[in-house]
Structure formats: structure tokens, C-alpha cells
């Protein structure tokens, strides 16, 4: 294959469990090679404690995965293709920040910190900082300027400042060594370009605007007074962060000699400014104005873009922010999402597997090898069989209900101490019926997000489904269409986040002048669409009203964040 006239780019997508890279033909979006690497320390459950909602990831997992997947793509593609790679861009989960020194090195990579969870990346789903988030929300009411206005009016424990304050309060060793606080999506491009001064790091407008309270209207971050008066531990921190933020069509630099040698690429390769996975995933999924792009995996991230001039004076309450250029440069990017989607189904699967996990190894009837094989076989079959059985159940207004806050609530109106619930159970409530209720709950939670956009004057005119759940479960997607009473199109690509990163790499490298041009040339289109069934939609409309009523009642029963955190911490000590 002659490639001298062709250009290739690499998109790197850091997910919760793994990192995947795709090497793509920049002319037509063809996926030439791909590779996936599962984080070994994360797979072993290291540095995590679900009992206190602590989820941390070691930077070595990220670095090893970066090298492995790109080298594997280069090996599969061949030397000729590797020589024509022009750009690399990266997306990550977020907000997933880490404490670094002046050189921008995560503390976990320094002597004495290698096993300290507080020196590692604080994963998006880590909710150890709910108290700090509550304090930020209360503190913001004391200022004439509303510094929360562009993040939906509510700061979340999943975000940058709450996590920083929690780590500073909790760990004196980290508190003494930290110089700055850096998002995962900003650190990887810095790493690839050989950065050694954190103050020279190009921070992404995506992370800065949606999670760090950065806004052009504020001249950057809120003033030091805002943070220092919240807690003196934060005094002076803004000076060690950033003033400027960049869209992802810009270059962060070129591949360093060290990483060029490690990856088998040229130092002429352009490294793009990073962003969060759902933002680049929306681009990879060919988002359109006023169409909600739903990246559906362990959680959901819902992205909507609109012409800035049409929505800049509309502030949508209770979402994860609205930031010019955070998805497509020149357009307003609005983010929402659910804290648990696929994670809800995984929780129920693990609940059903408990007897096998605990008892198979004790069996006197079968060998350990047979027990392991049986466990794996049943584990693989549970969700498909539950789906099959649930799809055959009749739909009734009297069916069991669930509330989908099993990992708190992201939007609308972030509250990470809320809890999930299952209601209306009887002696006939078997596993498929409970599973169906859980699926309905995640779909109802998704509809609450659409309703909030519509209520606040930003109309949702269509739905685009992306990610593993969207591709693998017609049952869930049909229910989504019925609950929303709107069609939902499913994008063809299996790797929309990585493909989106590749589109930004092609733009940053100058192959395209606008990311919209890269989307048009490299986009793979849609391969499925689900349309609402009128009869089922009418029943779901009535059940949705009950879902909202049940949710309101449950929310009133949940203690406030500060009280609940104290209870969790005391239980963990016991």
C-alpha cells in the first residue's frame, strides 16, 4: 500500500478501566490499527476503597498503557504508515486530577509517594470530597459574582477544586510536596511533549471551564480571595495553576525525542491539546447543533453544542457547565450526564453473582478449575439473559420502580450523596423484573436531563447514542427511545472517543483547518436508529411522573452531605 501521499493520526482514549488507541487514515477515517490496554493496578483494585467512595489510579497505569497501545498500533500498521503519522491527540475521563511538583511530575512517581493514593490521580467517580463540594456551594453564595454560574450553579464532588481541597486536608505529606494540581487530559500531552515546567503546560478549555471554574468573563479562574477565604490551604494556589486555556484544535507541542524513540515515531508529530472523553466522543460521533450526544458506558456524559450567539445568555441550571469551545471551537459546549449507567447494571450483576463468588471455591463437588470456568461462563451470560427475559415482560404502570442514584446524581442538580432505590417489590419480583426496573430508571434519569435543557430554553432536537451500551443493547436503546419519545441514532464507530481524538489530532496537525472539516471527512456515519413505540411511550410517560414523585420523596429522606460523610468515615474506621 502506497502511503507517501497519505496522512495518519492517532487518537488515544483513556477510559475508566482501560486505554485504547486507534491509528486512523486522516483522509477518510479508516481505522488502520487499534489496541486496548487494561490498567493492571486498577484491575487488582489497588488504591481504591469503595466503602468510602475512594477511586484512585496510578500514573504508571496510564504511562504503560500509552506506550503499549501506540506501539501496538504502529507495529500493526507497519513502518510506512508510522512514518506518515502527523498527529496524536488524547481524551481522558474527568475530572481526574493529580498533585504534581514544579516539573509537572505526579507525586506518585516520586520517591516516598509510590503507594500513596493521595499522590495519584483522583478518578472522576471518586466521591471522597462531598463535604468540600458542599462547602464550595455554600461559600459561593457570599460573593457578589456568581462563580458557579457557568457550571450549572452547583459544584460537584467529582470536580477539580473539591478534590484538591480534600487531598490537602487529608494528607500532610502531599500538602508539603504539592506545587500544582493537574487534570489527566492536560498531563498526557505535557508528558508526550517532554514538558518539565508545569507553568508551561497548556491547559484545556474543556477541563478548565467545566470543572475548574475558569471563565473568560472572570478573566480566568476566580480570584485567590475566593479560595483563600474558603480554606487557607488554598491560598496562593491560583498562581500555581493557569490563566489561559486552549481549545483542542490547538497544538500542545511536538513529540519529544524520548517518546519518539519509545513509540517508534518522529519528533515532527504534533501533539494536540487534550480534552475529556465525552467531549471528543461527541465530535467522533458527529454531533450536530441541538442534538444531545450521549456517551453511554459506566456512566453517561451528555454533550450538546449550539451556536454561541444563540445560547450565550441562557444559563442552564443544574448541568455540568457550558463553555465556549469545549467541544467544537466557535460553538457553545454544554455538558450533563448520569453518575451511574452501565455501573448500575454491573452492580446488579455482581449482586446476583455473590453466591458464586463466595461459595463455588468451597465446593466439594467440583474442582477449582471447573468452579472458575463455571463462574466465568455464568458471569458472561447474566446480562444477556436478563436482557432477553426482561424484553419479554409486559409493560404496566404498576411494575416495580427504581431510582438510578446508585453512585449519586450528576445532573440535573448534582448531589453525590443521594442513594439509589428499588420500590414496589413483591414476592413475584424476580431478577428480570428488577433488571427491567433498573434499566427504566437509567432511561428516566436520562429524560430528566433532556427536560432540563428544554425547560431552560435550549431545545433538544435529536439524540445520538455512542459507546458500549448504545452499540450492544437494542433492548436498552429501544426503551430509551420509548421513554424519551424521540428517535435515537446509534453511531457506527465502536471507538467514537478515540476517533474524536483522532479528528482533533488531524486538525491540530494542520491536515484540516476546522474540526468540522475533519468530522465530515473522517466520520463513519450511523448504522442503527430506534424509533419510539406510541403505545409504550404513553405508558412510560405516566411511569415517568411516578419516577419523579418517588425521587422527590427519597431525596427528602437523605441526610445532608456533611452528616452523611461523617457517617461513612466513622463506618470505615469501624
Whether the pLDDT of residue 2 is over 60: the answer is no
Q: How many residues does the chain have?
A: 574
At residue 233 the predicted structure's pLDDT band, cuts being 50, 70 and 90, is very high
Closest Cα to residue 328, out of 246, 210, 248? 248
Beta pairing partners, 303: 293, 335
DSSP-derived pairing of the beta strands 291-296 and 462-466:
parallel
What is the structure's pLDDT at 486? 97
Domains 8-285+493-527 and 342-491+533-573 share a fold: yes
**Which class is 8-285+493-527 in CATH?**
alpha beta
DSSP letters for 208-229: HHHHS--BGGGTBSPPHHHHHT
Closest Cα to residue 481, out of 532, 422, 405? 532
φ, ψ for residue 220 (rounded to 5)?
A: 125, -135
Q: Are 255 and 248 in contact (CB under 8 A)?
A: no
- My answer on whether omega of the bond before 563 falls inside 30° of 0, hence cis, is no
What is the structure's pLDDT at 5? 63
Burial of 315 (0-12, 13-18, 19+ CB in 10 A): middle
Sign of CA dihedral 506, 507, 512, 518: positive
Quick: pLDDT tens for 455-513. Answer: 999 999 999 999 889 999 999 999 999 999 999 999 998 899 999 999 999 999 999 99
Give the chain's mean pLDDT: 94
Q: pTM for the full model? A: 0.89
- The mean pLDDT of 247-268, rounded to a whole number, is 98
Q: Is 551 helix (H, G, I), strand (E, B) or coil?
A: helix
What distance in Å separates the CA atoms of residue 326 and residue 284, rounded to the nearest whole number? 14
DSSP-derived pairing of the beta strands 56-57 and 121-122:
antiparallel
Q: Are 332 and 380 in contact (CB under 8 A)?
A: no
Q: Are 58 and 120 in contact (CB under 8 A)?
A: yes
What is the structure's pLDDT at 566? 45
- The mean pLDDT of 214-224, rounded to a whole number, is 96
What distance in Å separates the CA atoms of residue 304 and residue 331, rounded to the nearest whole number? 10
User: Domains of the chain: which residue ranges?
Assistant: 8-285+493-527, 342-491+533-573
Cα torsion through 400, 403, 406, 407, rounded to 10: 160
Architecture of the CATH domain 342-491+533-573: 2-Layer Sandwich (3.30)
- The mean pLDDT of 302-330, rounded to a whole number, is 93
Amino acid at each position: 500500500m502506497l502511503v507517501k501521499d497519505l496522512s495518519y493520526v492517532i487518537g488515544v482514549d483513556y477510559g475508566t478501566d482501560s486505554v485504547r488507541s486507534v491509528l486512523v487514515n486522516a483522509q477518510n477515517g479508516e481505522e488502520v490499527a487499534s489496541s486496548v490496554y487494561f490498567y493492571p493496578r486498577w484491575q487488582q483494585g489497588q488504591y481504591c476503597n469503595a466503602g468510602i467512595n475512594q477511586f484512585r489510579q496510578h500514573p504508571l497505569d496510564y504511562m504503560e498503557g500509552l506506550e503499549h497501545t501506540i506501539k501496538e498500533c504502529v507495529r500493526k500498521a507497519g513502518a510506512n504508515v508510522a512514518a506518515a503519522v502527523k498527529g496524536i491527540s488524547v481524551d481522558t475521563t474527568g475530572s481526574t486530577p493529580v498533585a504534581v511538583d514544579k516539573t509537572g511530575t505526579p507525586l506518585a512517581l516520586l520517591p516516598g509517594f509510590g503507594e500513596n493514593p493521595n499522590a495519584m490521580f483522583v478518578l472522576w467517580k471518586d466521591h471522597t470530597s462531598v463535604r468540600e463540594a458542599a462547602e464550595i456551594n455554600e461559600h459561593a453564595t457570599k460573593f457578589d459574582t456568581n462563580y458557579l454560574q457557568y457550571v450549572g450553579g452547583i459544584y460537584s464532588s467529582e470536580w477539580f477544586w473539591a478534590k484538591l481541597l480534600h487531598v490537602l486536608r487529608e494528607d500532610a505529606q502531599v500538602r508539603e510536596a504539592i506545587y500544582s494540581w493537574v487534570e489527566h487530559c492536560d498531563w498526557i500531552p505535557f508528558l508526550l511533549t517532554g514538558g518539565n515546567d508545569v507553568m508551561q503546560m497548556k491547559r484545556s478549555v474543556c477541563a478548565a471551564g467545566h470543572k475548574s471554574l475558569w471563565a473568560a468573563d472572570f478573566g480566568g479562574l476566580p480570584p485567590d480571595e475566593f479560595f483563600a477565604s474558603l480554606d487557607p490551604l488554598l491560598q496562593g494556589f491560583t498562581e500555581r495553576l493557569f490563566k489561559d486555556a486552549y481549545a483542542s484544535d490547538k497544538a500542545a507541542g511536538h513529540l519529544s525525542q524520548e517518546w519518539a524513540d519509545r513509540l517508534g515515531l518522529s519528533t515532527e508529530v504534533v501533539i494536540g491539546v487534550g480534552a475529556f472523553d465525552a467531549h471528543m466522543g461527541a465530535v467522533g460521533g458527529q454531533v450536530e447543533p441541538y442534538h444531545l450526544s450521549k456517551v453511554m458506558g459506566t456512566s453517561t456524559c451528555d454533550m450538546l453544542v449550539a451556536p454561541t450567539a444563540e445560547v450565550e445568555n441562557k444559563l442552564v441550571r443544574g448541568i455540568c457547565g457550558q463553555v465556549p469551545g469545549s467541544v467544537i471551537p466557535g460553538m457553545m459546549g454544554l455538558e450533563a450526564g448520569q453518575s451511574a449507567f452501565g455501573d448500575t447494571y454491573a452492580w446488579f450483576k455482581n449482586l446476583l453473582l455473590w453466591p458464586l463468588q463466595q461459595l463455588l471455591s468451597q465446593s466439594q463437588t467440583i474442582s477449582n478449575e471447573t468452579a472458575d470456568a463455571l463462574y466465568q461462563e455464568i458471569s458472561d451470560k447474566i446480562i444477556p439473559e436478563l436482557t432477553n427475559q426482561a424484553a419479554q415482560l409486559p409493560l404496566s404502570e404498576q411494575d416495580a420502580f427504581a431510582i438510578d442514584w446508585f453512585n449519586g446524581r450528576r445532573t440535573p442538580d448534582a448531589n453525590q450523596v443521594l442513594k439509589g432505590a428499588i420500590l414496589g417489590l413483591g414476592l413475584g419480583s424476580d431478577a428480570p423484573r428488577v433488571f427491567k426496573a433498573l434499566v427504566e430508571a437509567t432511561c428516566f434519569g436520562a429524560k430528566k436531563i433532556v427536560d432540563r435543557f428544554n425547560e431552560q430554553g435550549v431545545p433538544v432536537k435529536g439524540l445520538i447514542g455512542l459507546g458500549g451500551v448504545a452499540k450492544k443493547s437494542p433492548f436498552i436503546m429501544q426503551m430509551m427511545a420509548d421513554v424519551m419519545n424521540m428517535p435515537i441514532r446509534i453511531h457506527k464507530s465502536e471507538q467514537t472517543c478515540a476517533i474524536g481524538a483522532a479528528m482533533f489530532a488531524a486538525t491540530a496537525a494542520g491536515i484540516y483547518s476546522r474540526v468540522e472539516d475533519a468530522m465530515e471527512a473522517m466520520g463513519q456515519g450511523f448504522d442503527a436508529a430506534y424509533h419510539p413505540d406510541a403505545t409504550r411511550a404513553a405508558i412510560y410517560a405516566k411511569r415517568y411522573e411516578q419516577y419523579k414523585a418517588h425521587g422527590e420523596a427519597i431525596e427528602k429522606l437523605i441526610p445532608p452531605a456533611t452528616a452523611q460523610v461523617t457517617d461513612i468515615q466513622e463506618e470505615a474506621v469501624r
